[in-house]
Structure 1
Amino acid sequence: MNTKPTLLVLAAGMGSRYGGNKQIDGFGPHGETILEYSIYDAIRAGFGKVVLIVREEILQMAKDLFLPKLEGKIEVDFVLQSLDSFVPEAYRNPNRVKPYGTAHAVLCAKDAISEPFAVINADDFYGREAFEVLGKFLTNGVQPNLHAMVGYAIENVLSENGTVSRGVCTMNEANQLVGMVERTSIAREGDKIVSRGEGEEIEIKPGTPVSMNFWGFHPAVFGDIQRMWDEFLPANKENIKSEFYIPTVANNLIQEGKAAFEILAGGKTWFGVTYTEDRPVVIAALKNMHDSGEYPENLWG
């Protein structure tokens, strides 16, 4: 498959713990957003298009911010995620205010993508190596029944400023995902990494791979997501806080024997802004990368 892969960016989230629209906040030396580094890395890894999933209220802001910088460098498209997107009238609940989650966001891009694609969060920095390894997989390795996830060691993706949620992975000897459990309250405690969510205390080994929501899919996955979405809606009509997540889709496909997921070992550098206090750490890390030549002084020249 020679088609250039597409980068699908989840940028419709609320940013509740951070307290603002961190997707469009400036962190780089010239006010660059974290997302701009991901797009820059994707371009040099051979991606041909970027699709941003946004809410209606930040659509114009996102266009004004990204289109002038990216014109002529990569094809750009925007997709809206709303509480009505792909939700038939019968299943709409007027009391719902929470978005439907990451797998619903991917489904919203169904009509905008027909080639292999990566999925990322807008507010996470994933690192050049991650884009290179996933770009290679999406160009040469992806199949309708073989997708991928870039794995990050849990010890490298914690916050010093509070607990984090992570998809903790189990893999087999072939480096394929066996299953993933979302742990919602992980933190370093002394020399241990401990999860205290879900009513139990679990110690997690430092090298355990976790999902940072950096996935690689064959477009055939849209059919699978639609099928699961059609089952999710009637089952959750009255549950206004229910969410439809990408790891749920992955776990279901694995359990059904319909697809496998390779865990790619490209996740070396990650940082993000879960909390406002994470901001100066991210700014300093990006400055160091510019100073060392990993990125040019001005990303878009």
Structure 2
Amino acid sequence: MKDYTLLILAAGMGSRFGGLKQIEPFGPNGEFIIDYSIKDAIKAGFNKAVFIIKKENLEIFKNTIGKRIEKHIKVEYVFQELDDLPEGFVKPEERTKPWGTGQAILAAKNIINEPFAIINADDFYGYDAFKKLIDYMKNIPKDINKKQYGLVGYLMRDTLSENGSVKRGICQLENNKIVNLIEAVITLKHYEMEANPLGTEEHFKIKDDTLASMNMFAFDPSIFSFLEKEFKDFLKDNINVLNSEFIISSVLDKALKDGYCDLNIIKTSAKWFGVTYREDIPLLKKVIEEKIKSGECQEHLWN
């Protein structure tokens, strides 16, 4: 049977949250957010899950989420490590911050040989998003000149936190294809949204129906070679910048500008939920309770 692989970004530090969001209990039986995403992904047709984690967290993941899902889907683990750098580069001793989502994805290059999807471990995406994602993967547009990748877009107004600013990818579209993907800090000021692209002093207003990237992508293995090339270029300029990050959205924006790929928008009726700050926890728990009451989510996911 053909593999439809879900690559799960679960190595982040959760600095604004103050801990590992990936293993914070949200469900009535101690379920993590990722439990709900994997359940939805299996229902949609995914049959393989690859977790990108820190090596020191392996036993935590295997003994919790891993143990719960291993009877329902193939599970593998890969590690994002600070010293996993291309030949010729050495990690600065003072570096403690992970290199970013781009490097995290590269950790899976040796075990994924098929089209795959990417999600964050700490975002609640909704079943329809996974269904639309796998439908896209089964019917990827044919183009001999450009790689055809996909991005599930959510309305920006549905991705904010009442408790502070958030980082989001701003999708700028032409003919249903993304032409610019701008990683920015989004702040709500006087009922208006203001964007500050990372690494700049620029600020501009955006509409509340702007599509946001929540790191839900459809790729094929060709993304790995592009990431490898770009990571080397990134390190040449940033190896000693201790807080620098090699971010997938910035890499994709470069791929668009280079004409390497098209990034097709995948629209969904699902509503995103998540936690950026610890103060966001009660709202998400309430959302899950309501989804269980309505029958949209099961109370016992894996029994």
SS of 2:290's equivalent in the other structure is helix
Distance in 1 between residues matched to 2:105 and 2:123, nearest whole Å: 17
Q: What is the one-letter code of the residue matched to 2:177?
A: Q
Match of 1:271 in 2: 273
Match of 1:187 in 2: 187
Contact kept in structure 1, 2:170 and 2:183, CA below 8 Å? yes
1:175-224 deviations in Å (ceiling 9; x for gaps) = 1110111221x233343222357434422111111111111101111111
Match of 1:55 in 2: 54
Contact kept in structure 1, 2:47 and 2:74, CA below 8 Å? yes
Match of 1:78 in 2: 77
Distance in 1 between residues matched to 2:292 and 2:115, nearest whole Å: 31
1:209-266 deviations in Å (ceiling 9; x for gaps) = 1111111101111111111112222222221221111112211111111110101111
Match of 1:287 in 2: 289
Distance in 2 between residues matched to 1:113 and 1:241, nearest whole Å: 29
Contact kept in structure 2, 1:142 and 1:217, CA below 8 Å? no
Contact kept in structure 1, 2:182 and 2:253, CA below 8 Å? no
- Answer yes or no: is 1:4 the counterpart of 2:6: no
Q: Which runs of 5+ in 1 are unaligned?
A: none
Off by >6 Å, runs of 4+ in structure 1: none
Compute the RMSD of aligned alpha carbons.
1.6
Q: Percent identity?
A: 41
1:267 Cα offset (Å): 5.6
Match of 1:176 in 2: 177
Change (3 A) 1:4 1:54: same
Alignment of 1:187-206 (within 5 A): 187-195=187-195, 198-206=200-208
Contact kept in structure 1, 2:137 and 2:218, CA below 8 Å? yes
Q: What is the one-letter code of the residue matched to 1:9?
A: I
Q: What is the one-letter code of the residue matched to 1:120?
A: I
- Given the two structures, how large is their TM-score scaled by the length of structure 1? 0.94
SS of 1:120's equivalent in the other structure is strand
Q: Which of 240, 258, 261 is equivalent to 1:259?
A: 261
1:22-73 deviations in Å (ceiling 9; x for gaps) = 1011001111100011100110110110000110121110010122211221
SS of 1:278's equivalent in the other structure is helix
1:271 Cα offset (Å): 1.1
Of stretches 160-169 and 266-275 in structure 1, the one that deviates more from structure 2 is 266-275
Contact kept in structure 2, 1:8 and 1:120, CA below 8 Å? yes
The number of equivalent residue pairs is: 298
Match of 2:248 in 1: 246
Q: What is the one-letter code of the residue matched to 2:62?
A: K
Q: Which runs of 5+ in 2 are unaligned?
A: none
Contact kept in structure 1, 2:41 and 2:130, CA below 8 Å? yes
Distance in 2 between residues matched to 1:229 and 1:196, nearest whole Å: 24
Q: What is the one-letter code of the residue matched to 1:182?
A: E
Distance in 1 between residues matched to 2:271 and 2:84, nearest whole Å: 34
Change (3 A) 1:188 1:239: closer
Distance in 2 between residues matched to 1:196 and 1:253, nearest whole Å: 22
